Structure 1
Amino acid sequence: MESLAGRVILLWGWQRALVGVAAGALAALAQPPFDFFAACFVAFPVLVWLADGAEGAPDARWPRRLLPAFAVGWWFGFGYFVAGLWWIGRALLVDAEAFAWALPLAVIGLPAVLAVFYGLATLVARLMWSDGIGRIAALAFGFGLAEWLRAVVLTGFPWNAIGQAAMPVEPLMQSVAVTGLFGMNALAVFVFAMPALLGSGRHAHAGLALATLLAALHAGYGLVRLELAPAPERTLAMRVVQPSIDQTRKWDTDARDAIFATYLDLSFPPDAAPVPLIVWPETAVPFLFTDRPDALAALGERLGEGQMLLAGAVRRELGAGAAPTRYYNAVVAVDDAGEIAGAVDKVHLVPFGEYLPLSGLLGRLGLEEIAETVGPFSAGGPRRTIAVGDGANALPLICYEIIFPSLVLAQAAGADLMVNVTNDAWYGRTPGPYQHFRQARLRAVEAGLPLVRAANNGISALVDGYGRVIDALDLDAYGTLEGALPVGRVRTLTLGPPARNGAAILALLALVALVGSMRGRPRAN
């Protein structure tokens, strides 16, 4: 192991970059649908050894001396994000004739930008570097900080956070209710990187014992929590519709009536017992309800007494005078009278998909046409819950809003369940929909709230507050999902909110790293 570590530490130039990219790509195998988390026990030790050798020239100015430390993290991040997010380019191929030219921006450009955060992670870590457990703590703190920044800078994009690699199955998901995702990101790197001590550094046995203890606590807590989970006190019966409509057909204006008829047929099957709640996916309604009062009337005729429909729809708001007309990606509630009883607009819009950031500059590059494919939309106002029957209040979250811990936790007060509507048909049968579903399940655990998920082509599911899948429809399945979802927040024994606990974990790791750094710099190899 020492020989291997020495070779990695001494790598330089293109060989160092290539190994960094390969290590990052290997780490991406820990994400869905592969869930090969053992890959991280190889990838992160390699990253530690690369960082060990990331010394700037002694005679270089201070900023230039930091470039090697930044570079190893950037190359690692580039490999990680290319391997984990390549499927985003699939959305551009839905209308390949118009947008295939932008494929390199999605497959190469986005990973190159996201890799900057991992470059900052290794740069921050090198500032506190040492030759033992302290440097492992420094790397964990750097990644914990970088993942938090990735979730907030420029509206944020915390997709495939490193901490998810440590939570591939239900027992291993439970710790996130205590640590929060950001705390889990740091702890995961701390454990994954610890085998690096076998190749270079002191206190290898103590470090591995500590990592083993943390992993055992992580797994043990989850097993005990699930074993002691009480039976639900109340449930809500519901029907989730998954029509699996091809994305190109959704654009066909001549198919709108047929699409709406498909939703009606699936929602109200003959001889089926009525359920209090029916849920349709994102932008399911193929027209504006304000333009088609007959559609609302048809729903009113089908919905029985006390039934409610939550449907993804586009909502229009006419501007007064010279004010522009605004469009919102929304969830609307239709009651048994065929009237819109409430609506919640999407707050966190998808850059380039639903709006164009820096539109004045990027519009001249032709990127405005991509945003106008499904938008542009306006961001909604303050979110509120919707009463959906039997005294239950639902928190609607549209598409990738479910991946933002701060957004979900800040707005979950007063909610009894979360409703996530989405349309992942853009991405076909790629890792994207599986990754999206995993993040939705983790938000259920983190918030302690059950989740109903309606996706156009999957994965639709009923998930309890422990992240357990009660029932689901796989990708491209056509039909309905019917069941009783436990409602109400599940209890978690914790010292405080997950976000606060996560911040405390980062502070502790930073302290360990600083103590290690003050005790001496790395020894020469």
Structure 2
Amino acid sequence: MNARRRHFALCILAGLFFAAAQAPLGIWPLVFAGFALSLWLLKSAASAKRAAWTGWSIGASYFAASLIWIIEPFLVDVATHGWMAPFALAGMAGGLALFWALPFWIAARLGRPASILALWPLAEYARSTVLTGFPWGLQAYAFADTPFAQFAAHIGPHGLGAFALIIAALPVLWDRRKGIAFGLLALIALGAPGTLRLGNAPETANDAPIIRLTQPNAPQHQKWDRDYMPIFFKRQIAATEAKPKPDLIVWPETSLPNWLNDAERTLLHIADAAAGVPVLIGAQRYEGLNAFNSLALLRADGQVGQVYDKHHLVPFGEYLPLGTVLSRLGMSTLTETFGGFAAGQGPELIDLGPIGTALPLICYEAVFPDQMQSPEGRPAFLLHVTNDAWFGTWSGPYQHLVQAQFRAIEQGLPLLRSANTGITAAIDAHGRVLDSLALGVSGYIDTALPSPLAPTLYSRTGDIPVLLALLFLFAVTLMPYVSRKD
């Protein structure tokens, strides 16, 4: 194997290290291995062009492996959308990898490999925000079930990812032996506060409201099939009727079999089954020519109260960017709703009376750490309704759950999650899964609402302190370069 092929093979390996660190495998030490190997490859790149190719190859390998679930939605209706599946994966992996190619190119062009320590996390922030953003698969998520994840309460996922990169860089960009020693000390320093924080977790209050999270287990290819819809609806009704009665019942995303506007009889049936308990129901509704993916509060009297409309929609899934142009090329949205959905007005709280307020998140909205705030104030808990049947059964549902865990850590709030199929879960304010229903299982869980924590630093400041720190770090790494120019 010549040097160029060996270099490329190592790029692929680095990407696979990152992928294996993510759910469902979750081999978190491989994050450090991936970073260290990537930095070594950057140092060994002979030119800025080779460095950019290196960053792109590592990123393409990582995103192709970790986002393999992206083909699943296109296979629900193979005849209509199946041809798009390979293009979707290749386009997604190759496009996202450009965000990794750029910092590698800049670092090599400047002749300052250390500048990658700021540039790479800044590029990941850009990936999370540019063109509506796609923050799926941030490296911090590999630490979900470790004490390190607790640091996200202070610095968020971008800060935690930057810390991991810096630790991995010590033996590569500095001294090998000293770097390994300092890296281990840094890991201990990072993990100790998290362990202490977990040890001081508050107990759930004895009088905490009981909330029922339902899961009908409807495969996406059967979800809207008229032969199967009654089966899934009966499962939901059975879960709603079960005793003892909770204080609130939650149905997952788009679980109402009718349009909300035309579901009077169905809603009365649900209210009868709930027997006085309010029910939050994922539903589709319309206003004029606009359709919305919504969460509706069904009151005890069978009337619809507050309605929340999903505001951060999935490109190509729920709406078609550049719709006029792309529709001419034979593309369409993956949802069964003709023409896609319209976006709601933004984050807002749902008032649940004695239970408190909840910040609703519908499916994709839970992947955005910077969109957990409402102008109406801080909620009592985060409520995530989702339809993870779109994501298949391998990696997607598990990665989606991990991101929900991080939202709880970052905000210091419990998160309750009702999924159409896997993984329905009760998550405490430290991001720990207290109870759950696995993929492919129908049923419900009754959970006492976990206690919230005090507002976290990240919930108050967001990513601004981390971004400023990264810009400062970038300036510091450039100082020898500027001095040399002078």
**Matched AA of 1:68:** R
Decide whether aligned partners of structure 1 residues 498 and 177 sit closer, same or farther in structure 2, where only a CA change above 3 A counts: farther
Q: How many residues align?
A: 484
2:297 alignment counterpart: 333
* Selected match of 2:18 from 19, 23, 27: 27
2:232 alignment counterpart: 259
Inter-partner Cα distance in structure 2 for 1:479 and 1:299? 16
Matched residue SS, 1:501: helix
Inter-partner Cα distance in structure 1 for 2:462 and 2:416? 22
Alpha-carbon shift at residue 400 of structure 1 (Å): 1.4
Q: Does 1:146 align with 2:116?
A: no
The percentage of aligned residue pairs carrying the same residue is 35
The 5 A counterparts of 1:209-248 are 209-233=181-205, 235-248=208-221
Matched residue SS, 1:142: helix
Matched residue SS, 1:253: coil
Inter-partner Cα distance in structure 1 for 2:168 and 2:413? 29
The 5 A counterparts of 1:425-440 are 425-440=389-404
* Selected match of 2:421 from 430, 445, 457: 457
The answer to whether the 8 A contact 1:31-1:84 is kept is yes
Q: Greater CA deviation, 215-224 or 358-367? A: 358-367
Q: Does 1:283 align with 2:254?
A: yes
Alpha-carbon shift at residue 276 of structure 1 (Å): 1.2
The answer to whether the 8 A contact 1:181-1:502 is kept is no
Q: Does 1:191 align with 2:173?
A: no
For each residue in 1:303-360, what CA deviation from the matched residue of structure 2 results, as whole angstroms up to 9, or x when unmatched?
334x211111101112xxxxxx100011111010111111111111001110111112
Alpha-carbon shift at residue 365 of structure 1 (Å): 2.0
The answer to whether the 8 A contact 1:20-1:76 is kept is yes
Inter-partner Cα distance in structure 2 for 1:339 and 1:499? 41
Matched residue SS, 1:278: strand
For each residue in 1:370-427, what CA deviation from the matched residue of structure 2 results, as whole angstroms up to 9, or x when unmatched?
4556760001013311112324100100001111011114668321101101111122
Inter-partner Cα distance in structure 1 for 2:376 and 2:400? 19
Q: Greater CA deviation, 46-55 or 396-405? A: 46-55
* Selected match of 1:353 from 292, 303, 317: 317
For each residue in 1:449-489, what CA deviation from the matched residue of structure 2 results, as whole angstroms up to 9, or x when unmatched?
11000111110000111111111111111111111022434
Q: Does 1:98 align with 2:80?
A: yes
Inter-partner Cα distance in structure 1 for 2:111 and 2:12? 22
The 5 A counterparts of 1:415-434 are 415-434=379-398
1:43 alignment counterpart: 34
Q: Does 1:473 align with 2:434?
A: no
1:125 alignment counterpart: 107
The answer to whether the 8 A contact 2:310-2:346 is kept is no
1:85 alignment counterpart: 67
Q: Greater CA deviation, 272-281 or 437-446? A: 272-281
* Selected match of 2:268 from 281, 284, 297: 297
1:159 alignment counterpart: 136
Matched residue SS, 1:452: strand
Decide whether aligned partners of structure 1 residues 163 and 513 sit closer, same or farther in structure 2, where only a CA change above 3 A counts: farther
Decide whether aligned partners of structure 1 residues 163 and 512 sit closer, same or farther in structure 2, where only a CA change above 3 A counts: farther
The answer to whether the 8 A contact 2:209-2:355 is kept is no
**Matched AA of 1:161:** L
Inter-partner Cα distance in structure 2 for 1:473 and 1:362? 39
The answer to whether the 8 A contact 1:74-1:115 is kept is yes
Decide whether aligned partners of structure 1 residues 378 and 125 sit closer, same or farther in structure 2, where only a CA change above 3 A counts: same
* Selected match of 1:309 from 279, 288, 291: 279
1:174 alignment counterpart: 150
Q: Does 1:484 align with 2:448?
A: yes
Decide whether aligned partners of structure 1 residues 280 and 101 sit closer, same or farther in structure 2, where only a CA change above 3 A counts: same
The alignment yields a C-alpha RMSD, in angstroms, of 2.4
Inter-partner Cα distance in structure 1 for 2:376 and 2:184? 34
Alpha-carbon shift at residue 51 of structure 1 (Å): 1.3
* Selected match of 2:359 from 377, 387, 395: 395
Q: Greater CA deviation, 46-55 or 471-480? A: 46-55
Decide whether aligned partners of structure 1 residues 411 and 463 sit closer, same or farther in structure 2, where only a CA change above 3 A counts: farther
For each residue in 1:32-66, what CA deviation from the matched residue of structure 2 results, as whole angstroms up to 9, or x when unmatched?
0111122233322222122123343xxxxxxxxx4
2:463 alignment counterpart: 499
Q: Which runs of 5+ in 2 are unaligned?
A: none
2:241 alignment counterpart: 268
The answer to whether the 8 A contact 2:118-2:470 is kept is yes
Inter-partner Cα distance in structure 2 for 1:428 and 1:229? 34
Alpha-carbon shift at residue 212 of structure 1 (Å): 2.3
The answer to whether the 8 A contact 1:329-1:345 is kept is yes
Q: Greater CA deviation, 483-492 or 117-126? A: 483-492
Inter-partner Cα distance in structure 2 for 1:17 and 1:85? 20
Q: Does 1:115 align with 2:115?
A: no
Alpha-carbon shift at residue 209 of structure 1 (Å): 3.6
Decide whether aligned partners of structure 1 residues 186 and 387 sit closer, same or farther in structure 2, where only a CA change above 3 A counts: same
Inter-partner Cα distance in structure 2 for 1:155 and 1:458? 26
Decide whether aligned partners of structure 1 residues 237 and 107 sit closer, same or farther in structure 2, where only a CA change above 3 A counts: same
**Matched AA of 1:212:** L
Alpha-carbon shift at residue 260 of structure 1 (Å): 2.4
Inter-partner Cα distance in structure 2 for 1:375 and 1:259? 25
TM-score computed with the length of structure 1 as normaliser: 0.86
The answer to whether the 8 A contact 1:356-1:371 is kept is no
For each residue in 1:68-124, what CA deviation from the matched residue of structure 2 results, as whole angstroms up to 9, or x when unmatched?
222111111000000100111022112222222111112211100110101112123
Alpha-carbon shift at residue 259 of structure 1 (Å): 3.0
Matched residue SS, 2:125: helix
The answer to whether the 8 A contact 1:353-1:375 is kept is no
Inter-partner Cα distance in structure 1 for 2:374 and 2:188? 31
Q: Greater CA deviation, 228-237 or 155-164? A: 228-237
Which structure: larger Rg? Answer: 1
